[in-house]
Amino acid sequence: CKDSGTMAGEPWRDRLNALPLTEAVRGKALVLVISNQDMKAALADNNTTDGTLISAINALVEQAAAAAQPQPGAMGAQAGGAATGRQYNFELEKVEQQVQQLQQQIASLTVTATSEQDVGKTVLALRHVNPRMEGLVGELPDDVPQGLAEAVKSKFPMREALESAVQAALFQLLDELLQAADTPFHVHDTSEKGYLTNPMAKVDFTLTSGRQVLWSSVIGFYEVKANLSDSDKYKAAVGQLMTRAQVLFKQQPERAHMLGAVIGGDALEVFFIQRASNQTISSGKLDLSGADGATMLLRL
């Protein structure tokens, strides 16, 4: 946020208010963050996990509180009524030095693939697997054109392809499927441009109920990797999908669940994500070279 004096539409302030902090910590953090551009940037970045932010904010508040404690000599001088401006300036310099050190620590905090993998690992450990996803993903009608099934088979699997190639092939396929299905939904490649803002969310594919990419019109997200056989990439994709879903729930308070997927050149997994992370249901990984994977992609 460039203008710290603006109250409305400040992503960092919204994120701070949404974090599970005590009101005392939140109030102190607000005062400290207003003049801390690094912390603002971390709060405004949707890739920064809540856990990372909470740790950084607690450290910020604790260090500021510790630095503000008067030294024993200063306390004695105050008790005797002899506190001087020089002592005050000394204490202020110490506070400024420690805040500066903390700013450097915050600047070095980056959301890495490891943190996304950790989120994905937790989701995968807690999810309930339902390979058919009965009642959660629509069934195919009996008169599905053969051309749709052939469209899937002609493009997948792509086991040795780069992520960009998988994404391009998937976008073309999704566009063909949506046109053939004659739905009011739209698919957008939002990995690099045209992505969601306020708050910002870069997602490989965003499905919307309108032509504009707005939080109010989002239906679901698809995260893409070169393949899902790579365990780290697989977990990271799941973590990214879950993180975006939680942001969506905040932007659409009435929303109870979201249907999304992680898709690679070799496989896909569909997720029915609810507000409580331990109630997530997924199809498990389905090989796109088999009938189950190809059919699930069509159903999705």
Whether pTM > 0.85 for this model: the answer is: no
As a whole number of angstroms, the distance between CA 110 and CA 257 comes to 29
pLDDT, position 205: 96
Between residues 183 and 298, the one the model is more confident about: 298
117-120 long-range contacts (CB < 8 A, ≥24 apart) are 117/232, 117/235, 117/236, 117/239, 118/235, 118/239, 119/49, 119/238, 119/239, 119/242, 119/243, 120/234, 120/235, 120/236, 120/237, 120/238, 120/239, 120/240, 120/242
Least reliable range by pLDDT among 18-27, 93-102, 207-216, 254-263: 93-102
As a whole number of angstroms, the distance between CA 122 and CA 148 comes to 35
Mean pLDDT of the chain: 82
pLDDT, position 1: 40
Q: What sign does the dihedral 111-115-120-123 (CA atoms) show? A: negative
pLDDT greater than 80 at residue 95? no
pLDDT greater than 80 at residue 249? yes
Which DSSP string do the residues of the chain spell out, in sequence order?
Answer: ---TT--TT-HHHHHHHHS---HHHHHHHHHHHTT-HHHHHHHH-TTS-HHHHHHHHHHHHHHHHHHHSPPHHHHHHHHTT---HHHHHHHHHHHHHHHHHHHHHHHH----HHHHHHHHHHHHHHPEE-TT-TTTSPPPPTT--HHHHHHHHHH---TT--HHHHHHHHHHHHHHHHHHHT-S-EEEE-SSSS-BTTTTB--SEEEESSSS--GGGEEEEEEE-S-SSSHHHHHHHHHHHHHHHHHHHHHSTT--EEEEEEE-SSEEEEEEEESSGGG-EE---EETTSHHHHHHHHH-
132-136, 259-263, 286-290 — most confident range: 259-263
pLDDT, position 31: 84
As a whole number of angstroms, the distance between CA 58 and CA 70 comes to 21
With a CB cutoff of 8 Å and minimum separation 6, the contacts of 9 are 198
pLDDT, position 109: 47
CA of 118: how far to CAs of 11, 49, 230, in Å? 25, 11, 15
pLDDT digits (tens, 9 = 90+) for 68-83: 665 555 445 454 555 5
pLDDT, position 6: 41
- The whole-number average pLDDT for the span 207-231 is 95
Q: What is the pairing mode between strands 267-274 and 257-263?
A: antiparallel
pLDDT, position 29: 87
pLDDT digits (tens, 9 = 90+) for 111-157: 444 588 999 999 999 999 999 999 999 887 776 767 777 778 888 88
pLDDT, position 283: 97
The confidence band for 261, taking pLDDT boundaries of 50, 70 and 90, is: very high
Backbone angles phi, psi at 187, to 5 degrees: -110, 135
- The whole-number average pLDDT for the span 262-288 is 92
Pull the structure tokens for residue 18: 């949404």
- The whole-number average pLDDT for the span 178-186 is 80
